Amino acid sequence: MATSQPILKADDLSMRYEDGVLALDHLNLDVRPGEVYCLLGANGAGKTTTINLFLNFIPPTTGTCFINGIDVTKDPLEAKKYVAFVSENVMLYGNFTARQNLDFFAKLGGKTALAKNDYYQVMRRVSLQEKAFDQRVKNFSKGMRQKLGISIAIIKDAPAILLDEPTSGLDPKAATEFLEIMAELKNEGKAILMSTHDIFRAKEIGDRVGIMREGRLVMERTREELQHEDLNKIYIDYMKSAEQAT
């Protein structure tokens, strides 16, 4: 397990929306280089809100997000240099080819001197079919879009990657391929924060797994701890206890 300074850090993070809903309640977590942190939880548990706060899409009510030691609220543009984002439904420009999409987002990520071959290499690395490289993405399957989304994150070469339910809706083969790429990125030293519903894959890939409920991190286990525990049972138990509480 990684021991260096965290790349992603949520410090006493709370978020209350205008309608009064408390989406995050004093969340503390950190993700270090070479670590995959999986956030599990039901819909509305606060997983996506956490990611939105790291991306400064919304300002926190209290607390602070740090990316590579930079306060996201104070210097969002500088902080975004160090993070790549892959959403559940990777949003791309349908009339652009895969390479054109990659080129555009690479430039936004600060990579301005890349050659055609560099893009092809990244797309090969995520196992996107060669024939798709110069095809318009509007007819791409979800799996292909997801691979291209990962290519965008890879080409940005940021030390942190935020993934918002990336395997949702993928077929088992595509999901497995996706996790293989995650493992590679982890081995390259990337700090990965992934929100997911997929308990099985969270256990497989996560160095740490946190369970969120009603905006709070109610449980956290390391990979080692989970060797001796049934994550599925723990998760179900937490959800049931939440239902009983309500």
Please tell me the count of residues contacting other proteins according to CB under 8 A: 30
Binding letters toward other proteins, positions 161-200, x by CB under 8 A: -x--------------------------------------
Phi, psi at residue 16, to the nearest 5°?
A: -115, 125
Where does residue 92 rank: exposed (0-12), middle (13-18), buried (19+ CB within 10 A)?
buried
What binding mask, one character per residue, do residues 123-162 give for other proteins by CB under 8 A, x or -?
A: -----------------------------x---x-----x
What whole-number distance in Å separates Cα of residue 13 and Cα of residue 118? 38
Choose the stretch contacting other proteins; rule: CB under 8 A; options: 55-63, 65-73, 124-132, 230-238. Answer: 55-63
Helices (H), 157-197: 172-187
Beta bridge partners of 66: 9, 71
Ramachandran region of residue 44, left (φ > 0), alpha (ψ -120 to 50) or beta?
A: left
**Chain centre to alpha carbon of residue 227:** 23
Any long-range contacts for 233-237 (C-beta under 8 Å, 24+ apart)? 235/40, 235/199, 235/211
Q: Is 67 in the site for other proteins (CB under 8 A)?
A: no
Q: Which of 24, 65, 83, 202 binds other proteins (CB under 8 A)?
A: 83
Told to check if 21 binds other proteins by CB under 8 A, we report no
Both structure tokens of 16: 């209350």
- Residue 57 CB, nearest approach to other proteins (Å): 5
Q: How far apart are CA 136 and CA 98, in angstroms?
A: 6
Q: Does 61 bind other proteins (CB under 8 A)?
A: no
* In the complex, least distance from residue 145 CB atom to other proteins, rounded to whole angstroms: 11
From the list 3, 19, 43, 77, which residue makes contact with other proteins (rule: CB under 8 A)?
A: 77
Stretch that binds other proteins, among 8-16, 82-90, 208-216, 223-231 (CB under 8 A): 82-90
Q: Which residues bind other proteins (CB under 8 A)?
A: 52, 55, 57-58, 77-78, 80-81, 83-85, 87, 89-96, 100, 104-105, 107-110, 152, 156, 162
